[in-house]
Amino acid sequence: MAKNEQFVSQIADIETDFPQWYTDVVLKTKLVDYGPVKGTMVIRPYGYAIWENIQREMDARFKAAGVENAYFPLLIPMSFMTKEAEHVEGFAPEVAVVTHAGGGKLEEPLVVRPTSETIIGHMYGKWVESWRDLPLRLNQWCNVMRWEKTTRPFLRTSEFLWQEGHSVYATGEEAEEETLKMLALYEDFSKNVLCMPVLTGRKTEKEKFAGAVATYGMEAMMHDGKSLQSGTTHYMGQNFAKAFGVQFTDKDGALKYGYTMSYGVSTRLIGAVIMTHGDARGLILPPPVAPLQVVIVPIAQKKEGVLDATHVLERTLREAGIRVKTDDSDNSPGWKFNEWEMKGVPVRIELGPRDIEGGKMLAFRRDTCEKTELALGDAEAVKALLSDISSAMYERALARMRERIVPASTLEELLSGVNGGNFVRAGWCGERACEDRVKEFAQATARVMDGNNDMPVCVCCGKKAQHTVFFARAY
RNA sequence: CGAGGAGUAGCGCAGUUUGGUAGCGCGCUUGGUUCGGGACCAAGAGGUCGUGGGUUCAAAUCCCGUCUCCUCGACCA
């Protein structure tokens, strides 16, 4: 017991030191390690398996929506970046540039992609000729690099993994519709795969993507009430089509520019999941993305028949489509309990001589830490338990988010709202000056605008509100 | 870049005030006993104390320089 307390104390207190808790957990559960280059992370197998599950689930949704995968180069000629004025200005401070290769200086520097609008725009310019080529909808899974000043594993790293989808449509209406559809796809994914509620909506001009006409985002609420942007979709209008000559001959014979949009989610989602669901014992992983959904811990494993029974059970569960393994290492059962709880495995099954004799198994669910007895080998009951955990995790997080969204009609109310770890719902006149003032006064930014535009006056200047905005401190 | 803090074994730290044999816990290796909430016994392996210089008979410890990392701010998926 004393040892256990010493162990637990190795993770920072989730209530009082949330950022440190986060860092401790991702390192101690072996999701990541720091890379030799500052700001980079090494994703270890346990962490990467989460990403693989996210990829698989996301890909299935993309394919169902008619999006295909492709791959574009890592290095982008500098001249591509400068073709769209706002884009280059937005990304210039954080791009890494290759100036030398093959033992000599390059004639034109190459940018390590911070995002691929430009190089994909270049290729789309070649590929699109006719209205029959549209819509063109591709996605790529890749790494990108943004040289950030301060970094944190998963949440902000110099290099990160993501998917970026890029589509071209013949009309602005279609491209805009797709932008909203992808936002809805992300929201659905977040709810059903990550068990994570999000706020979605349009971003303000100040917060939008460099070069976009409109940016939409989804924001997740972390344990400490701060917001994490966990996915964005962008409507580009004809900005990139014009910069890269993405033109087609329409049905009426006229030469027209296409309308483009893009969307992306990154390994940041993993950080979002950790910070949304975790508790004082460590990770709590949503069953759909957990690398292991069930871990079987044998009790008195040297006794005749115990390990045999766990392996039979393991096979039964695996055949039922459950990601499962038996921990038959020679650590003590208590050690295994704590280890797998810290690692967030949704369900643990304890199986010892007593259970085997009685034809039972003891199931422990990580989200509530409750134990229930199940019939030995009942895979359907385990699946039902996993499914129940998923919905319970979502409902809990949703309830927490809802009760921490508070209204404000003055700056003081807004400040006390975010100080209390809340999202603040408030009116906004639409002026940049007021948005800046809110940031200065309360260190809170406009996360997304609410579709229900019902707050009457601007929280800052008191004039008639044009939008209702969720303000929060952000990671 | 502004403000704080830290560099000693794989990890976490003590030792520095007052210079004198390199320490502790966890982890690791081997063997044995254990196993229903981080077990126990025994025997081991592992460190030019971030780095360069200086003072001294003697430096982890004192002096000067330098590098790196972490936390908090300004920028961001």
Nucleotide B36 C1' to residue A298 CA (A): 10
* C1' of nucleotide B75: residue with nearest CA: A149
DSSP characters for A130-197? BGGG-SEEEEEEEEEE---SS-BTTTB-SEEEEEEEEEEESSHHHHHHHHHHHHHHHHHHHHHTS---
Nucleotide B65 C1' to residue A262 CA (A): 52
Averaged pLDDT, A129-146: 97
For residue A4, what pLDDT is reported? 44
Fold of A294-389: Rossmann fold (3.40.50)
List the alpha helices (DSSP H) in A42-163.
Answer: 45-64, 78-81, 85-91, 117-127
Which pLDDT band, with edges at 50, 70 and 90, does A138 fall under? very high
**Buried/exposed code over A372-406 (b: 16+ C-beta within 10 A; e: otherwise):** eebebbbbeebbebbeebbeebbebbbeebeebbb
Listed range (A111-125, A257-271, A411-425) with the worst mean pLDDT: A411-425
* C1' of nucleotide B74: residue with nearest CA: A149
Domain A405-472 CATH (choose: 3.30.110.30, 3.30.70.580, 3.20.10.10, 3.40.50.970)? 3.30.110.30
Q: What is the pLDDT of residues A123-132, one digit of tens each?
A: 999 999 999 9
B strand bases under 7 Å from protein CB: 1, 25-26, 34-40, 68-77
**Residue A2 predicted with pLDDT over 50:** no
For residue A248, what pLDDT is reported? 98
Backbone angles phi, psi at A97, to 5 degrees: -120, 135
Averaged pLDDT, A354-367: 97
> What angle (nearest 5°) sits at the alpha carbon of residue A97, between those of residues A91 and A155?
55
Q: Which residues are A349's β-sheet partners?
A: A296, A363
Both tokens of residue A234?
């962008």
Could you identify the residue written with the tokens 């795969």?
A193
Nucleotide B4 C1' to residue A448 CA (A): 34
The DSSP output letter for A73 is: -
In CATH, what class is A2-277?
alpha beta
Residue ranges covered by each domain of chain A:
2-277, 294-389, 405-472
Nucleotide B3 C1' to residue A442 CA (A): 21
Asked if residues A220 and A196 have their Cβ atoms less than 8 Å apart, the reply is yes
Q: Are strands A467-472 and A423-428 parallel, antiparallel or unpaired?
A: antiparallel
**Helix (DSSP H) and strand (DSSP E) numbers for chain A:** 15, 23
Residue type at A237 in one-letter notation:
G
Q: Which residues are A143's β-sheet partners?
A: A161
> In whole angstroms, what is the distance from residue A475 CA to residue A471 CA?
13
Q: How many other β-carbons are positioned within 10 Å of the β-carbon of residue A75?
A: 15
| Nearest nucleotide, CA A331 to C1' | B35
The pTM of the full predicted model, rounded to 2 decimals, is: 0.96
**Residue A66 predicted with pLDDT over 80:** yes
Q: What is the pLDDT of residues A268-287, one digit of tens each?
A: 999 999 999 999 899 999 99
For residue A10, what pLDDT is reported? 66
The helix or strand, by DSSP H or E, that contains position A264, with its residue range, turns out to be strand A259-266
Which pLDDT band, with edges at 50, 70 and 90, does A1 fall under? very low
Averaged pLDDT, A381-410: 97
> In whole angstroms, what is the distance from residue A206 CA to residue A209 CA?
9
Mean of the per-residue pLDDT values for chain A? 94
Q: How many other β-carbons are positioned within 10 Å of the β-carbon of residue A248?
A: 20
A39 or A371, higher pLDDT: A371
Q: What is the pLDDT of residues A148-181, one digit of tens each?
A: 888 889 999 989 999 999 999 999 999 999 999 9
For residue A7, what pLDDT is reported? 54
Q: What is the pLDDT of residues A205-260, one digit of tens each?
A: 999 999 999 999 999 999 888 999 999 999 999 999 999 999 999 999 999 999 99
Q: What is the pLDDT of residues A79-118, one digit of tens each?
A: 999 999 999 999 988 899 999 899 889 999 999 999 999 9
Dihedral sign, CA of A154, A155, A161, A164? positive
The helix or strand, by DSSP H or E, that contains position A247, with its residue range, turns out to be strand A247-249
The DSSP output letter for A368 is: T
Q: What is the pLDDT of residues A11-64, one digit of tens each?
A: 888 887 888 888 888 988 999 988 878 888 889 999 999 999 999 999 999 999
Nucleotide B32 C1' to residue A352 CA (A): 24
Percent of chain A whose pLDDT exceeds 90: 84
Averaged pLDDT, A381-405: 97
